[in-house]
Amino acid sequence: MGLLLAPAAIAQETARLDIGASSLISEKKGWWGRPSLELTLTLSQAVPYRAVIVGDPPRLIVDLKDTDFDELKPSQLFGHDSVPGIRWGDFRQNWSRIVLELPGPYDITSAGQRTLPPQATIRVALDPVDEEDFAPLPSATAALRNLPEPAVLPVPATPPEGLTVMLDPGHGGIDPGAIADGENEAELVLKFAKELKASLEAKGITIGMTRDSDVFVGLEARMTAAREAQADLFLSLHADALPTGQAAGATIYVWTPRADNRAAQQLATRHDRSDLLSGVDLKGKDDQLASVMMDFARTDTQPRSENFASFLTSRLALHGIGLHDRPVQGAAFSVLKSPDIPSVLLELGFITDPHDRANLISPEWRKRMVAVVTEAILGWAQDERARTAHLRQ
Ligand SMILES: [Zn+2]
């Protein structure tokens, strides 16, 4: 995500909307029914963007990075009256958001950005769909485009006030996790979590642990613990057996919804609903709506999880900790499913790999790793705080 705190990055140019060359075209394909829609945005330069459909009521959301609408009004857009409403404005730091209220359920049929330097054109095409085919859960992640790596920023000495992190050492009790050469995962990750806790607390960060001894804790109890602590970040720690054919090294996982609607619905069904999404009462809503609202919350949470994953990767690389070839991967680990708490799973290494195992049991290596994760959390928190401050302006 865009971390435009570095002085060099602040000087970066902002894209401007060329409203005369932008439009919303509607085209009726039959005698009745709703028209197809095509939104064209011409910008002074290419920008990262994402497009996503959300429900209740049906809307198209287009987020544009580093884009300034100046004093432009949606009513100046050619074809603005072909939908019930259009709004736009600053969304969060360095991101602007366009919201198109749709005249019914629609689907994105294509979205793309074409550059003709210096200009760029983003086109999002929508077709009407029947109510029963309306799927407003196309994972915000899948819609993320061209997000740049974070800049390497100076790490602040102190964290923003009131920062709470929930550490989640995996497994425990009846579930020892992966076992190799007399070592077990549950014990190793607990030892690491305790060392990390001490390091973070020394920086003034409030730390919760889903377990601090060798006990079994269910996956959902881990998420609930994070919510009860009002954690700003959930960090799950593992050191699993190396899957066949996979390279060793530290690996970071973020939730991949991959249109996993059923999983979201199961989660919504199984939980006490007020437990799932703080601030929004889902009691009495049907499952479909609950999962839509969860996904809507996740459109904000997912980029924040990915942002932390980027911070972690760049810090690991910077400090020469061995990384997997694809250091950030998506996975449907249920423990990462919290819709409203940025959640990341860190495989410190693989216990079945002799080199990784030697690292994991080495106090010196763990000390380095603890320092790296501490730095990543401080850097990420600073970036989060900058965004929030901007939102309050
Ligand atoms: Zn594990």
Which range, 82-96, 158-172, 348-362, has the best average confidence (pLDDT)?
Answer: 348-362
**What is the pLDDT averaged over residues 123-147?**
63
How close is the Cα of 295 to the center of ligand 1, in Å?
26
Which range, 5-14, 93-102, 319-328, 375-384, has the best average confidence (pLDDT)?
Answer: 375-384
In this prediction, residue 297 carries a pLDDT of: 57
How close is the Cα of 185 to the center of ligand 1, in Å?
7
**What is the pLDDT averaged over residues 110-138?**
80
Q: What is the pLDDT of residues 270-321, one digit of tens each?
A: 333 333 433 344 444 444 444 555 555 567 788 889 889 988 988 888 888 8
How close is the Cα of 304 to the center of ligand 1, in Å?
23
Report the largest interatomic distance among the alpha carbons of the chain, rounded to a whole angstrom.
73
How close is the Cα of 240 to the center of ligand 1, in Å?
5
| Model confidence band, residue 78 (pLDDT cutoffs 50, 70, 90) | very high
DSSP one-letter code for 76 = G
DSSP one-letter code for 114 = E
Q: What is the pLDDT of residues 195-235, one digit of tens each?
A: 999 999 999 999 999 999 999 888 878 888 998 999 999 99
How close is the Cα of 328 to the center of ligand 1, in Å?
16
Mean pLDDT value across the chain: 78
How close is the Cα of 175 to the center of ligand 1, in Å?
10
Residues, beta carbon < 5 Å, ion ligand 1: 170, 177, 238, 240
What is the distance between the alpha carbons of residues 304 and 307, in angstroms, rounded to a whole number? 5
In this prediction, residue 269 carries a pLDDT of: 41
Q: Is the pLDDT assigned to residue 250 strictly greater than 80?
A: yes
CA distances from 274 to 120, 146, 339 (A): 43, 35, 12
How close is the Cα of 177 to the center of ligand 1, in Å?
5
Q: DSSP string spanning 188-245?
A: HHHHHHHHHHHHHHHTT-EEEES-SSS----HHHHHHHHHHTT-SEEEEEE--PPPTT
| Model confidence band, residue 12 (pLDDT cutoffs 50, 70, 90) | low
How close is the Cα of 170 to the center of ligand 1, in Å?
5
DSSP one-letter code for 31 = S
How close is the Cα of 237 to the center of ligand 1, in Å?
7
How close is the Cα of 262 to the center of ligand 1, in Å?
24
Q: Is the pLDDT assigned to residue 64 strictly greater than 90?
A: no
How close is the Cα of 292 to the center of ligand 1, in Å?
30
How close is the Cα of 251 to the center of ligand 1, in Å?
12
In this prediction, residue 248 carries a pLDDT of: 80
In this prediction, residue 130 carries a pLDDT of: 86
Q: Which has the closest alpha carbon to 340: 178, 231, 177?
A: 231
In this prediction, residue 6 carries a pLDDT of: 28
| Model confidence band, residue 261 (pLDDT cutoffs 50, 70, 90) | very low
**What is the pLDDT averaged over residues 76-83?**
90
All structural domains of the chain, each given as residue ranges with its CATH number in brackets, are: 7-133 (2.60.40.3500), 164-392 (3.40.630.40)
Which range, 108-112, 280-284, 367-371, has the best average confidence (pLDDT)?
Answer: 367-371
How close is the Cα of 186 to the center of ligand 1, in Å?
8
How close is the Cα of 196 to the center of ligand 1, in Å?
17
| Model confidence band, residue 244 (pLDDT cutoffs 50, 70, 90) | low
How close is the Cα of 274 to the center of ligand 1, in Å?
29
How far is Cα of residue 273 from the mean position of the Cα atoms in its chain? 22
**What is the pLDDT averaged over residues 149-174?**
73
How close is the Cα of 293 to the center of ligand 1, in Å?
30
How close is the Cα of 385 to the center of ligand 1, in Å?
31
